[in-house]
Every structure is written in C-alpha cells, then in structure tokens.
Chains A and B, each alone.
Chain A
Amino acid sequence: MSISPREIGSDLVSIRRTTHSPGITLVVAGAMIGVLTGAPWIFPASFVTVLMNFFILVSMATMWNLMAGYAGMVSIGQQAFVGLGGYATLYFALKGMSPYVAIPFSALTCALIAIPVTYLLFRLRGGYFSIATWVVADTAGIIIGTIALFGGGTGRPVPGFTNFSPTQITNFAYLSCWFVALVVIAGTYLLLRSRLGLVLSSVRDNEISARSSGVKVTSARRTVFIIAAAGCGAAGAVLAIAQPYVQVSNEFNIQWAAEMLFVSMIGGLGTVEGPIIGCVIFFALQQSLQSYGAWYLIIFGSLAVTIAIWQPRGLWGAFRDKFHIELLPVGYWTRSKKQ
C-alpha cells in the first residue's frame, strides 16, 4: 500500500500513555495494596468480612463491566460461572487439591466451558442474548444440583482446611478474595491498555464503524466472554472458600448478576474505575442502612435507575468527563515530533 511511505517508521509522533506522571499513582496504589494485604491484622473482624464480600463483588462487577461496558454484551447469567467456579473448587478439593491452589484451576475450567457456550449464545443479539445467558445459568445450576458427588441441591462443605487454625482459615479466605480482586482489576487494566483494549473501546463506541475499520468484533467479544467467565469463576471459587460451603441456590443465584449490573451502572460502564466506585457506594449504603432490612436494596435500585436515566455514564463517568481525571489511564497521548 502506498500511504506515505516517506513517513512510516520515521517517528512522526511520540506517544505517552498517561497525561500525568505515574509516580504518585504508583505510590498511592502501593500503599493501598500494602494496607489491604495487612487488613486482617489491622482492622476488626467484622470489617474484614465486609471487605471480603466487597472484593468478591468487585471481581464480578469488573468482569461484567468488561462485557457490557466495552463489548456490548449484557449478561444476566454470569452467576453461571460464579457457580461453576465454586463447584470446580469443591471438585478439586474433594480430589485432594488444596482449595487455594484450586482457584486458578477453577477459573481455567470456567474459561474452557465458556468457549462452546459462546458458539451457542453468539447466535443471539441484544435482549435475546441476555435472556439466553440466564437460561444457561439456570441450566448449569440444575445440572450441578443433580450430581450426587456435589451433595445434590443441598450442597456440600468444601474440604481441605483441616491443617489450618480457624484464624488462619479466615485470614486466608480474606487474602484469597483480595488477591483475586487485585489480579482481576490489574488484568483488566492491562487488557484495556493493550491492542485488544483499543479494539474494545471502539466496539463500545460504535460497532458498525469498528467493523469497517477492520475490527473483528465477534472474536473480540468471544475473548472477552471467556475472560469474564474465568474472572467470575475465580470469584465463585473464593466465595466457596469464604463460606466454606457450596450450594446451588447460593452460588447460581441471579442476585449476583443483579449486583454486578447495579454497581457497574452506578459507578459507570466502560471505565476501569466505575465498577469499583459502584461497589464502594453499594457497601457503604448496605452498611449504613443495615438496620432497615432490605431498604438498602430499594434505595440502591432507585439510585441505579436514576443514574441510568440522568447520568448514563455513571458517577465516575460524569466525574471524569467534568474534571478530566483518570486514575487508571488507558489512552494514548500524542506529541508531534516535527519542528
């Protein structure tokens, strides 16, 4: 091809990936990682439990946002992979593997199961796709519930903790939740900075012109679906470890999908930070409105609807558009090399 052979390779432009120096971000992130890793030894047990549930939801919501916010796939069946991840961990533990070691293998199992599932689901679009994801999740739950080894419908405790003291079990459960969340967020961030990330952003903004710019939309979607299955599988695995008990009605509960959806919408679809902020708000509301029973869900639901109508980019999206701040920048910043 003949577009300006004079220019190609002649360094027309230099690229930076952040608008500010990453130094301060790194220091803050390092300090946060340190504190959160030491949380069981720093904070009271009740707060550590909240953090655990927070990280489980952050992992799920980050994956959900990757699918819905970037690849335009609204799944209401991600609990399929939460459940399969939990039951994979149970299976590996029953076979004698340490449940902690089983986390990555459970994630991998979910990724492998997701591959054929995409060939089924990707025949459908929009609302039909969403409903089909739910059907897949229910079907998976029903099948798992018939397996005697897994305790049928009533479930089964996850074995493999006999070598540890109760304190160790709690601390390790926390650390598992935290590390999975860390890997999911860091992985998503790196993914969004990669070539695939640029592709996903373009699909998010305009699928038709993405295609005619050469973007293989379906294969990008498939990759995202598989990654999200793995991430939700890992979340299901740590959920199983945190309980430590698996039960179809808990692991395959559509409540997970609802929470993923709510927090992503409130925080802001299509940004890395959005679902994390959404989770913070979710847990803050939940904690402060605890004594009013299920009221936090009602308030949270109304909040989600309000934001969907008036601020479709979510709270973080609105904040970012206004102040041009990005905590986790994924973009490209150009500077001409001419003159």
Chain B
Amino acid sequence: MSLLQLEGVSKKFGQVVVGEQITFQLEEARAIGIVGPNGAGKTSLFGIISGDIRPDAGTIHFEGNDLLKLNSAQRARAGIGRTYQVPRPFEHMTVFENALVAAQQGARLRSQHSYDLAYDSLERTGLSEFANQPAGSLTLLHRKRLELSRALATSPRVLLLDEIAGGLTDLEVNELTAIIRQLQSDGIAIVWIEHVVRALLNTVDRLICLAAGKIVADGDPQEVLSSAAVRELYLGGKVVGESVQ
C-alpha cells in the first residue's frame, strides 16, 4: 500500500484548469520533485492534498484512509506537513512559538516534549539562533526556513515543500538539500515543487512535470527532463541547466 495515493484528481477555478485527472502514488520515505511552468497548478495540488482546496473530482488516500473526509487540521495531525510558497508566518509570535504551535497541535505533544520538538525543528534549519525573535522580523529566506521548521514540527510523514530554494546561493542550496536528504533518511516522504532543478536533482528519485493541471511526464528525473513533452514545454530545451523557469 502506498503512503499517499491520488486517483483522477481534478480541479477548476472557473475556466482555469489547475488539476486534470492527476494520478500518482508516493511510497514511504521517497522523494518526488515537481516542476512545471508558472500557473501549472503545482501549488494548487498541494492545497488539494493539505485540505486548503477541495477538488471537484477524484480520490486521495493517505495510509489507506480517505483524506478528503478530513479537514486541514486533521490532515496535519494525520501526518501531512506543508510549506507555503509565499510564507505565512505567525508574525506577532516568536520564531519558537511558530514551531511550538505545530508541535502542540500538529504533533499533539505537550510541555517539554513539545518544546524539544519545536526547538529541534528550528535547529535543523539553522533558525534556533532566532528562536526568541518575532517571526515578522525575519528576512524572506528565513521565513522560508521557518515554513520548513513549522511543517517539520507537526511531525509529518509526508512533507510538501513549495519552492523553498528560490533565491539561495549555491552553498545554501547544498545545505538545504543536505537537510532534506536527512529528513528523507529519517523516514519522511517528500514532494518538492522547485524551479531550481539542481536542488531537485540532488535529492529526488522521481520527477513529475505538470502543465495546465496535467501530468505530462513522470519518472526518472533525467529522463523526464530530456523527454519531448518537457522540452517542448520549455521551448528549446534550456531545461537541464540551472532552472526551468
């Protein structure tokens, strides 16, 4: 049984198709990368999985259970952690308190256990030195890390990462991929949307390309990137370089 299973998931916003018959499975502790042009429906797909967006059709199963019966909070508690492409910190709370909310509510921990998980999730992303600062005072890069920390503090089994590598230097990308690989070896499955393809290639063992809500390619990362469909999408095959944007 797969950890996460999407079957014929479709969604339209008015005339805009953000999901059309999306079907894929994610196995435990594996990492999938998702690429695709702007507006392809990548972020919407995360919304559908995390419960922010209700699909028009299709089924989603997580550990064999019907995920569509659960609301966002229940999905977070069940083990779905996500980050937001445009960070959504709790601005007037400290960085530590941001993670603590997730540890107490998402991971259902209390007192010292929750403090330790929250702090550990900050240490993993290098944010612990900012623990007592208001989250609103963080730079964009640190806010993205806080997204990751907070998702981690829910103690997820699947982590949905939405463009957390944008704007990083080469060194920082390497740091980030090291963090992600560590999480994966700790048993967390990962779905990672990223325009910085190099970060993905260091990490994922499978790549999905979305365009206009459809999966146009799915498989080995190198094969997906060199496939005709993806090359056509990015006009002229400048794909294998730094970025597919």
By the criterion CB–CB under 8 Å, are B116 and A1 in contact?
no
Total contacts A to B, CB within 8 angstroms?
A: 138
Query: B59-94, CB under 8 A of A: which get 1 and which 0?
Result: 000000000000111011101001010001111111
Chain A residues packing against B (C-beta within 8 Å)? 1-4, 7-13, 15, 195, 198-199, 201-202, 204-206, 208-217, 270, 331-334, 336
In the complex, the chain A residue whose C-beta lies closest to that of B82 is A212
Per-position contact with A for B214-234: 1 when CB-CB < 8 Å, else 0?
A: 000000000000000000000
Listed from nearest, the 9 A-B pairs whose CB atoms lie closest are A214-B106, A214-B105, A205-B90, A214-B76, A209-B88, A211-B72, A13-B119, A2-B187, A213-B102
What are 28 inter-chain pairs, A to B, with CB distance below 8 A?
Answer: A3-B117, A3-B155, A4-B117, A4-B120, A4-B186, A7-B120, A9-B112, A12-B120, A12-B123, A13-B115, A13-B116, A15-B115, A199-B101, A201-B97, A202-B90, A205-B91, A209-B84, A209-B88, A210-B101, A211-B52, A211-B72, A212-B50, A212-B51, A213-B101, A213-B153, A214-B108, A331-B93, A334-B115
**B-side contacts of A215, CB under 8 Å:** 73, 101, 105
Q: Which of B73, B102, B155 has the most CB of A within 10 A?
A: B73
Query: How far apart are A75's CB and chain B's nearest CB, in angstroms?
Result: 22
When chains A and B are docked, how far (Å) is the Cα of A97 from the Cα of B165? 67
A268 smallest CB distance to B (angstroms): 11
Are A331 and B97 within 8 A (Cβ)? Answer: yes
Indicate if the CB atoms of A214 and B154 lie closer than 8 Å: yes
If A205-B91, A206-B89, A331-B94 touch, does A213 touch B119 (CB 8 Å cutoff)?
A: no
Q: Please tell me if the beta carbons of A214 and B188 are within 8 angstroms of each other in the complex.
A: no
Q: Is the CB of B51 within 8 A of A9?
A: no
Chain B residues in 8 Å Cβ range of A199: 101, 104-105
Q: Which residue of B lies closest to A14 (CB)?
A: B115
Q: By the criterion CB–CB under 8 Å, are A9 and B89 in contact? A: no
Chain B positions within 8 Å of A, measured between CB atoms, are 50-52, 71-73, 75-77, 79, 82, 84, 88-94, 96-98, 100-102, 104-108, 110, 112-113, 115-117, 119-121, 123-124, 128, 131-132, 150, 152-157, 186-188
Task: Return A337 CB to nearest CB of chain B, in Å.
Answer: 9
**Would you give the shortest CB distance from B34 to chain A, in whole angstroms?**
18
| Beta-carbon contact of B116 and A10 below 8 Å | yes
CA distance A94 to B176 in the complex (A): 70
Residues of B with C-beta under 8 A to A210 = 90, 101
Contact residues in B for A7 (Cβ distance below 8 Å): 116-117, 120
B78 to A, closest residue via Cβ: A214
A4 CB contacts on chain B under 8 angstroms: 117, 120, 124, 186
Alpha-carbon distance A210/B128, docked complex (angstroms) = 21
B50 near A3 with CB under 8 A, answer no
CB pair B116 A11 closer than 8 Å: yes
- Shortest distance between the CB of A211 and any CB in chain B (Å): 4
Q: How far is the CA of A209 from the CA of B85 in the complex (A)?
A: 12
Give B101's nearest chain A residue, CB to CB.
A202
Most buried by A among B84, B102, B188: B102
A331 contact set on B, CB distance < 8 A:
93-94, 97
Among A201, A214, A334, contact of B102 (Cβ-Cβ < 8 Å): A214
